[in-house]
Chain A
Amino acid sequence: MTAHETTSPILEIESLRIALPEGSDRPLAIDGLNLTVRSGEIVCLVGESGSGKSLAAGAIMRLLPEPRVRVVAGTVRFEGQDLSTLSAKQMRSLRGSRMAMIFQEPMTALNPQKRVGWQIEEVLRIHTSLSRKERRARVLEILEQVRIPDPASAVNAYPHQISGGQRQRVMIAMALVLQPKLIIADEPTTALDVTTQLQVLKLIRELQAKFGTGVLFITHDFGVVAEIADRVAVLRQGELVEQGTVSEVLNRPRHPYTQALIAAVPGLNPPAPKSFDTAPVVMRVEGLHKTFKTRGGILAPRRNAVAAVDDVSFELRQGETLGVVGESGSGKTTVSRCVTRLLDADGGSVMLGDTDMLKATRGELRARRRDIQMVFQDPMASLNPRKRVVDLIAQGPIVHGENPEAARSRARELLALVELSPAAAERYPHEFSGGQRQRIGIARALALNPKVIVADEPVSALDVSVQAQVLKLLAELRDRLSLSLLFVTHDLRVAAQLCDRVAVMEKGRIVEIGETATVFANPGHPYTRKLLDSIPGRDWTPPLLAGTAA
């Protein structure tokens, strides 16, 4: 690490201030940012949503949506040169050749109408005078270096024809093709599955070391920080609160905000197993099957019938939490929709008490829905924006025949239970933050006194600090009301914290199921092992910090 100190800085940011348009929640997106990136090092800029970290990246590249958002003070020096003094043309000649950028969402960051090869080649066409043949050769070479399988045919593919991980590799190839001195990576792995994420992180690390590039890596995930950073800077609401080497910040954070953030990162050691052998089984799922058929016309017979859920069986006991973990496309969400019969399964049974949910008539199903409620992923989309909070929570009981007045007064009590103020009752969902909305969603699910709550990624859209609070609330309510939780998540850290047992899903099947502690300590299936090995920052144990958090 000391080696970096000696190399000259590529990027120096000094007391940078970025103004937001009038009417925003605060006047400055970034207030007094100082940051240096040297060649060959990776600096992580960490912050929660709204911290202004992406705008800082825009300011460096001079790609802010001016004049609404603009730099009002400070300097950005690139290789010693003040970027604000450059003409638009000089700036263009730097972008893509000397400094490059990798974005979060590789699907939308690539032009859907142009072939992959063309898009990489465009960088060469803009900045070099290479011949067509030389350009093609260079494109193939860089695709080889980012380890795209079969570069020769990938060149001719459109972005939608390759996988998410490969698209991000293409983005990296595009950024690296001219071997820039500085790369700004804005949450480059957030949209990827955990196994792909690890591969892409490794790739960035490897190529950066090989070319001696300086990297400004923007992220919200401390696991990723632990995985990749040399130095770390923490942003809070546009202000730099702490800066230091990775081990300083991660293991000995000084600022209370950093300490709180790190305390909120779930550790990877599951709680000691509790025994539920004596508790009654509340839900038993057997041989669940669901196949999605693409609908075809007369000349296009049904094709690509994919088994989304394939012979899935498990049972859930009273008071127990079963985690369903897997990557995107593993079928975990489909399971959650099938057991609640929001989707009709093709086969199997879901016994809830003595009723098979899958064979229940409309009337039975309506009555049975009281017992199994859901908490959804997106706290914005799961609440009808045109209903008051009290009506949202009271809706279930009213539908099931309860007196509306009684249902509403109970709804107000439930607000207290999920730690929201009673004043919240008369407001509309958009007036609340993400975490608060998720609490409303939980209150709605509780209003019917269910036996089982199916939670589909309930914290994945939340910032890590809020995430910890919501998880804590769920655990408390589960224990107090002896609820059973079916907890669907992609995040193994979250699963480790909350779940008594986990079921690992791959391609629609449960490949392993068992007590969380056992599965994490001794994974029996190679896929489970791969998943566990891919958790970013798995070797880093968040320090126990006195005086903060829970």
Chain B
Amino acid sequence: MSMLNYMLRRLVQAIPVMLIIMVGTFLLLKLAPGDTVDALVGDMGGADPRFIERLRAEYGLDQPVLMQLWIYMTKLARFDFGWSFVHEQPVMTVLMDRLGTTLLLMISSLFFAVSIGSLLGAIAARKAYSLTDNIISTLGLVFYAMPSFFLGLMMIVLFSVKLGWLPVGGIQTIPSFYEGWDYVKDVALHLIMPTASLSLIYLALYMRLMRTSVLEVADLDYVRTARAKGAGEWRLMIHHIMRNALLPVVTLLGVQFSTILGGSVVVETVFSLPGLGELAYKAVIQRDMNMLMGIIFLSSIVVIVVNFLIDLLYARLDSRIELT
């Protein structure tokens, strides 16, 4: 069978997960004190009971719970996440406005964490139990214990307050102040500290995983075979060890992606980046439940899409996976 079929099957598998998340967000909304109409009325500064009654009927809130669930799910399926009374806009519009910043932060953090992490891990494993390994491994443990917000604040103290090298926060200096390459440079400069503070924990994680993985693979029979063939250390590393040792790293990448996305809440708040995470924090503070559920739903979709792409990558990397 073909790649296309494999892709289709993976997508079909995601449907029940998506449905469970829909039901879950609905339950959370039901659990939350107050409903849409309460929020709306609160927004208007009060209304008479008959008007409230009519509004409830209009939003389907007088229907049985299962009916409400159905209405809710059909809306979600059309990416209609409702109205934000805080932003006075449809939730979807606000989300789309913010998605780009968060994705940019995700991509740069992941790239940094995976590439540097695997490289350091591989070096540590090849020099296992030496001074180099001890230094790398100890640094890894310290990074792993470092809360991102604390790291972020300390970097602000050092690089912005004391040294004045990097901007304290935001995604660009003044909106549309720069153009072309200058704009790219400006955004990149703003992203250095957020990326570093978000990715360091994951860098440590991938590093430790890669170290274990390389040590494990280096002990396998086929590496011994390659040695018996007369292969040198570089050839062993590149052709026989790395390729196989990277597989668990790719798997973890999929598992970890949603956690990293969650981590952006704190980092975006620390650096005032206008992304989904900062939006989620504000939504909680302002009790904008529609917005919060919209974020949960949209980020779940992002996670599913990313996991799908990672699965495809894995299938390409591991010849044992038959695309049938």
Q: How far is the CA of A534 from the CA of B232 in the complex (A)?
A: 40
- Residues A122 and B319 in contact, CB atoms below 8 Å apart: no
Chain A residues positioned under 8 Å from B317 (CB to CB): 113
Q: How far is the CA of A96 from the CA of B228 in the complex (A)?
A: 6
- Residues A126 and B221 in contact, CB atoms below 8 Å apart: no
- Residues B9 and A96 in contact, CB atoms below 8 Å apart: no
Chain A residues positioned under 8 Å from B230 (CB to CB): 92-97, 123, 126-127
Chain A residues positioned under 8 Å from B319 (CB to CB): 112-114, 158, 160
Check if B47 is an interface residue, CB within 8 A of chain A.
Answer: no
- Residues B221 and A103 in contact, CB atoms below 8 Å apart: yes
Residue from the list B222, B232, B235 in contact with A112, Cβ < 8 A: B222
Chain B residues positioned under 8 Å from A171 (CB to CB): 225
Q: How far is the CB of A523 from chain B (nearest CB, A)?
A: 37
Give the nearest-CB partner of B13 in chain A.
A297
Q: How far is the CA of A100 from the CA of B226 in the complex (A)?
A: 11
- Residues B225 and A113 in contact, CB atoms below 8 Å apart: no
Residue from the list A105, A113, A122, A299 in contact with B5, Cβ < 8 A: A299
Check if B66 is an interface residue, CB within 8 A of chain A.
Answer: no
- Residues A126 and B229 in contact, CB atoms below 8 Å apart: yes
Check if B224 is an interface residue, CB within 8 A of chain A.
Answer: yes
Check if B324 is an interface residue, CB within 8 A of chain A.
Answer: yes
Chain B residues positioned under 8 Å from A112 (CB to CB): 222, 244, 319-320
Q: How far is the CB of A344 from chain B (nearest CB, A)?
A: 27
Check if B62 is an interface residue, CB within 8 A of chain A.
Answer: no
Q: How far is the CA of A312 from the CA of B83 in the complex (A)?
A: 68
Check if A342 is an interface residue, CB within 8 A of chain B.
Answer: no
Given contacts A109-B222, A298-B12, A299-B12, contact A114 B239 (CB under 8 A): yes
Check if A550 is an interface residue, CB within 8 A of chain B.
Answer: no
Q: How far is the CB of A273 from chain B (nearest CB, A)?
A: 45
B residues 6-26 touching A (CB-CB < 8 Å): 8-9, 12-13
Residue from the list B8, B220, B232, B235 in contact with A299, Cβ < 8 A: B8
**Chain A interface, number of residues (Cβ within 8 angstroms):** 31
Q: How far is the CA of A446 from the CA of B86 in the complex (A)?
A: 75
Q: How far is the CA of A331 from the CA of B235 in the complex (A)?
A: 42
- Residues A63 and B227 in contact, CB atoms below 8 Å apart: yes
Residue from the list A92, A94, A108, A160 in contact with B220, Cβ < 8 A: A108
- Residues A300 and B324 in contact, CB atoms below 8 Å apart: yes
> Binding site of B, secondary structure by majority: helix, strand, loop or mixed?
helix
Q: How far is the CA of A96 from the CA of B235 in the complex (A)?
A: 14
- Residues B232 and A63 in contact, CB atoms below 8 Å apart: no
Check if A55 is an interface residue, CB within 8 A of chain B.
Answer: no
Residue-wise, chain B 227-264 has the 8 Å CB interface mask toward A (1 for contact) of: 11111100100011001100000000000000000000
Q: How far is the CB of A426 from chain B (nearest CB, A)?
A: 36
Give the nearest-CB partner of A100 in chain B.
B228
Given contacts A112-B222, A299-B9, contact A96 B243 (CB under 8 A): no
Q: How far is the CA of A126 from the CA of B12 in the complex (A)?
A: 46
Chain B residues positioned under 8 Å from A158 (CB to CB): 319-320
Q: How far is the CB of A387 from chain B (nearest CB, A)?
A: 30
Chain A residues positioned under 8 Å from B12 (CB to CB): 297-299
Check if B318 is an interface residue, CB within 8 A of chain A.
Answer: yes
- Residues B224 and A63 in contact, CB atoms below 8 Å apart: yes
- Residues B222 and A110 in contact, CB atoms below 8 Å apart: yes
- Residues B228 and A300 in contact, CB atoms below 8 Å apart: no
Check if A174 is an interface residue, CB within 8 A of chain B.
Answer: yes
- Residues A105 and B320 in contact, CB atoms below 8 Å apart: no
Q: How far is the CA of A113 from the CA of B229 in the complex (A)?
A: 17
Give the nearest-CB partner of A174 in chain B.
B229
Residues of B within 8 A of A (CB): 5, 8-9, 12-13, 220-222, 224-232, 235, 239-240, 243-244, 317-320, 324
Residues of A within 8 A of B (CB): 61, 63, 92-97, 100-101, 103, 105, 108-114, 122-123, 126-127, 158, 160, 171, 174, 297-300
CB<8 Å pairs between A and B, sample of 8: A63-B224, A108-B222, A109-B221, A109-B225, A111-B244, A113-B244, A113-B318, A158-B319
**20 extra interface residue pairs, beta carbon distance < 8 Å, beyond A101-B225, A108-B221:** A63-B227, A63-B228, A95-B229, A96-B228, A97-B230, A100-B229, A103-B221, A109-B224, A111-B244, A112-B244, A113-B243, A113-B317, A114-B319, A126-B231, A126-B235, A127-B230, A160-B319, A160-B320, A174-B229, A300-B324
10 closest residue pairs by CB, A with B: A96-B230, A96-B229, A95-B230, A108-B221, A101-B228, A111-B222, A109-B221, A158-B319, A92-B230, A109-B225
